[in-house]
A and B are shown apart, each in its own frame.
Chain A
Amino acid sequence: MSGQVISISGATVRIDLPGLKVGDRVLVGVQRLPGEVVRLHGAQAIVQVFEENRGLGVGEPVRDGGGPLKVVLGPGLLGQVFDGLQRPLPELRRLDGAFMRRGSDPFPLDLARRWTFRPGLAAGAAVAPGDLLGTVREGHLDHPIFARESGEVAWLAAGELPLAAPVARLAGGGELPLWQAWPVRRPRPSRGKQVPARPLVTGQRALDLLFPLFKGGVAIIPGGFGTGKTVLEQSIAKYADVDVVVYVGCGERGNEMAGLLDEFASLEDPRSGRPLMERTIVVANTSNMPVAARESSIFTAVSMAEYYRDLGLDVLFLADSLSRWAEALREISAALEEMPGEDGYPTYLGSKLAAFIERAGVVETAAGGTGSLSMILAVSPPGADFSEPVTQACLRVAGAFYQLDTRLAHRRHFPAINWTQSYSQHADPAAVCFDGDHPGWGEQRRRLRELLQREDELREVAEVVGMEGLQERDRLLMRTAERLRLEFLCQNSFTADAYSAPAATLQRLAAILVEHDRIGAALDSGLTYSEALAREVCDAPR
Chain B
Amino acid sequence: MRLAEYRYRTVTAVRGPLLFLARVFAARIGEVVTIIAPDGRRIDGEVLKIDGDLVVVQVFGDTVGLDTDRTEVRFTDVVKLAPLGLGCLGRIFDGSFRPRDGLPMFTPERWQPVSGAPFNPVARAHPEEFIETGVSAIDGLNTLVKGQKLPVFTCAGLPARELTEQLLRQARLPAGGPFVLVFVALGLTHFEYQHYARTLAELTGEYVAFVNLADEPVIERLLAPRLGLTVAEELAFAGGLDVLVIIADMANYCDALREVATAREELPGRRGYPGHMYSDLASLYERAGRLRDRRGSVTLLPVVTMPEDDITHPIPDLTGYITEGQLVLSRQLHQLGIFPPIDVLPSLSRLMNHGIGEAHTRADHRDLAGRLYRAYAKGRELRRLEAVVGRDGLLEDDRRMLDFATRFEQAFVHQGAARRTIAETLDLGARLLAEFGQGPPC
- Taking Cβ atoms with an 8 Å cutoff, the residues of A that contact B are 6-10, 14, 52-59, 81, 83, 89-90, 92-93, 96-101, 224-226, 249, 251, 253-259, 261-262, 284, 286-289, 291, 324, 327-328, 330-331, 334, 340, 343-344, 380, 382-385, 410-412, 462-469, 494
A96–B322 touching, CB < 8 Å: no
- Interchain CA distance A340-B274 in the complex, whole Å: 13
- Interchain CA distance A367-B27 in the complex, whole Å: 55
Q: List 16 A-B contacts (CB under 8 A).
A: A6-B51, A54-B30, A55-B28, A55-B29, A57-B27, A89-B122, A254-B289, A255-B147, A255-B289, A258-B121, A291-B279, A344-B269, A383-B317, A385-B312, A410-B345, A464-B388
- Interchain CA distance A90-B124 in the complex, whole Å: 11
A58–B52 touching, CB < 8 Å: yes
Per-residue A-contact encoding for B24-36, CB less than 8 Å = 1, 0 else:
0011111100000
How many residue pairs bridge A and B at CB < 8 Å?
207
CB-defined contacts of B326 to chain A, threshold 8 Å: 226
CB-defined contacts of A286 to chain B, threshold 8 Å: 118-119, 121, 282, 286
Q: Which of B96-104, B332-340, B370-378, B425-433 contacts A (4 or more CB under 8 A)?
A: B370-378
A343–B321 touching, CB < 8 Å: no
Q: Does B393 contact A (CB under 8 A)?
A: yes
- Interchain CA distance A329-B359 in the complex, whole Å: 44
Cβ-closest chain A residue relative to B282: A287
Cβ-closest chain B residue relative to A87: B120
Cβ-closest chain B residue relative to A388: B270
Q: Does B250 contact A (CB under 8 A)?
A: no
Q: Does B79 contact A (CB under 8 A)?
A: yes
- Closest approach, in angstroms, between the C-beta of B322 and any C-beta of chain A? 6
- Closest approach, in angstroms, between the C-beta of B425 and any C-beta of chain A? 19
CB-defined contacts of B324 to chain A, threshold 8 Å: 253, 255-256
Q: Does B398 contact A (CB under 8 A)?
A: yes
Shortest beta-carbon contacts, A-B, top 10: A383-B312, A287-B282, A466-B393, A54-B30, A288-B286, A258-B124, A225-B320, A98-B123, A99-B117, A57-B28
Per-residue A-contact encoding for B340-384, CB less than 8 Å = 1, 0 else:
000001101011011000000000000000100110010001000
The contact of A7 among B52, B147, B393, by CB within 8 Å, is B52
CB-defined contacts of B320 to chain A, threshold 8 Å: 225-226
- Interchain CA distance A56-B1 in the complex, whole Å: 10
- Closest approach, in angstroms, between the C-beta of A201 and any C-beta of chain B? 25
- Interchain CA distance A38-B185 in the complex, whole Å: 41
- Interchain CA distance A384-B291 in the complex, whole Å: 33
Cβ-closest chain A residue relative to B2: A57
- Interchain CA distance A225-B328 in the complex, whole Å: 13
A7–B314 touching, CB < 8 Å: no
A327–B275 touching, CB < 8 Å: yes
The contact of B267 among A81, A289, A334, A383, by CB within 8 Å, is A334
Cβ-closest chain B residue relative to A14: B51
Task: Kindly identify, within residues 267 to 326 of chain B, every residue whose CB is under 8 Å from any CB belonging to chain A.
Answer: 267-270, 275-276, 278-279, 282-283, 285-289, 291-294, 312-314, 317-318, 320-322, 324-326
A334–B289 touching, CB < 8 Å: no
- Closest approach, in angstroms, between the C-beta of A74 and any C-beta of chain B? 21
Chain B at the A interface: SS class: mixed
Cβ-closest chain A residue relative to B343: A410
Given A8-B50, A57-B28, A467-B394: A93 and B279 interface contact (C-beta under 8 Å)? no
- Interchain CA distance A380-B31 in the complex, whole Å: 35
B50–A98 touching, CB < 8 Å: no
- Closest approach, in angstroms, between the C-beta of B150 and any C-beta of chain A? 11
- Interchain CA distance A149-B268 in the complex, whole Å: 52
The contact of A57 among B26, B275, B286, B353, by CB within 8 Å, is B26
CB-defined contacts of B394 to chain A, threshold 8 Å: 466-468
CB-defined contacts of A380 to chain B, threshold 8 Å: 321
Given A57-B26, A92-B120, A284-B121: A98 and B291 interface contact (C-beta under 8 Å)? yes
- Interchain CA distance A269-B301 in the complex, whole Å: 37
With a 10 A CB-CB cut-off, give which of B147, B278, B287, B348 has the most chain A CB atoms.
Answer: B278
Given A57-B27, A463-B385, A464-B388: A382 and B270 interface contact (C-beta under 8 Å)? yes
- Interchain CA distance A56-B28 in the complex, whole Å: 5
CB-defined contacts of A466 to chain B, threshold 8 Å: 385, 389, 393-394
CB-defined contacts of B29 to chain A, threshold 8 Å: 8, 10, 53-57
With a 10 A CB-CB cut-off, give which of B123, B312, B313, B353 has the most chain A CB atoms.
Answer: B123
A289–B312 touching, CB < 8 Å: no
- Closest approach, in angstroms, between the C-beta of B352 and any C-beta of chain A? 10
- Interchain CA distance A199-B151 in the complex, whole Å: 41
Given A255-B127, A258-B125: A289 and B118 interface contact (C-beta under 8 Å)? yes
Cβ-closest chain A residue relative to B265: A337
Given A58-B50, A331-B275: A412 and B370 interface contact (C-beta under 8 Å)? yes
CB-defined contacts of A258 to chain B, threshold 8 Å: 121-122, 124-126, 289
A257–B124 touching, CB < 8 Å: yes
- Interchain CA distance A88-B30 in the complex, whole Å: 28
- Interchain CA distance A465-B320 in the complex, whole Å: 38
Q: Does B62 contact A (CB under 8 A)?
A: no
- Closest approach, in angstroms, between the C-beta of A476 and any C-beta of chain B? 14
- Closest approach, in angstroms, between the C-beta of B45 and any C-beta of chain A? 15
B346–A81 touching, CB < 8 Å: no
A93–B51 touching, CB < 8 Å: no
CB-defined contacts of A289 to chain B, threshold 8 Å: 118
CB-defined contacts of A54 to chain B, threshold 8 Å: 28-30, 79, 113, 115
CB-defined contacts of A257 to chain B, threshold 8 Å: 121, 124
- Closest approach, in angstroms, between the C-beta of B80 and any C-beta of chain A? 8
Given A7-B51, A464-B388: A327 and B279 interface contact (C-beta under 8 Å)? yes
A344–B398 touching, CB < 8 Å: no
- Interchain CA distance A275-B364 in the complex, whole Å: 30
A249–B317 touching, CB < 8 Å: no
- Closest approach, in angstroms, between the C-beta of B379 and any C-beta of chain A? 12
Given A101-B117, A253-B322: A9 and B51 interface contact (C-beta under 8 Å)? yes
- Closest approach, in angstroms, between the C-beta of B318 and any C-beta of chain A? 8
Cβ-closest chain A residue relative to B147: A255
Q: Does B148 contact A (CB under 8 A)?
A: yes
- Interchain CA distance A258-B118 in the complex, whole Å: 14
Q: Does B237 contact A (CB under 8 A)?
A: yes
A344–B30 touching, CB < 8 Å: no
- Interchain CA distance A377-B325 in the complex, whole Å: 21
B31–A55 touching, CB < 8 Å: yes
CB-defined contacts of B237 to chain A, threshold 8 Å: 98
B28–A254 touching, CB < 8 Å: no
Q: Does B49 contact A (CB under 8 A)?
A: yes
A288–B283 touching, CB < 8 Å: yes
- Closest approach, in angstroms, between the C-beta of B22 and any C-beta of chain A? 14
- Closest approach, in angstroms, between the C-beta of A416 and any C-beta of chain B? 12
CB-defined contacts of A344 to chain B, threshold 8 Å: 267-269, 275
The contact of A291 among B148, B266, B276, B350, by CB within 8 Å, is B276
- Interchain CA distance A366-B120 in the complex, whole Å: 37
A468–B395 touching, CB < 8 Å: yes
- Closest approach, in angstroms, between the C-beta of B20 and any C-beta of chain A? 14
Given A8-B49, A55-B79, A384-B312: A288 and B118 interface contact (C-beta under 8 Å)? yes
- Interchain CA distance A93-B293 in the complex, whole Å: 11
- Closest approach, in angstroms, between the C-beta of A490 and any C-beta of chain B? 11
- Closest approach, in angstroms, between the C-beta of B270 and any C-beta of chain A? 6
A100–B117 touching, CB < 8 Å: yes
Cβ-closest chain A residue relative to B345: A410
- Interchain CA distance A6-B292 in the complex, whole Å: 41
CB-defined contacts of A53 to chain B, threshold 8 Å: 29
CB-defined contacts of A382 to chain B, threshold 8 Å: 270, 312, 314, 317-318
Cβ-closest chain B residue relative to A339: B267
Cβ-closest chain A residue relative to B390: A466
B325–A226 touching, CB < 8 Å: yes
CB-defined contacts of B118 to chain A, threshold 8 Å: 99-100, 254, 286, 288-289
Cβ-closest chain B residue relative to A92: B120
CB-defined contacts of B389 to chain A, threshold 8 Å: 463-466
Cβ-closest chain B residue relative to A384: B312
CB-defined contacts of A328 to chain B, threshold 8 Å: 279
CB-defined contacts of A7 to chain B, threshold 8 Å: 49-52
B286–A253 touching, CB < 8 Å: yes
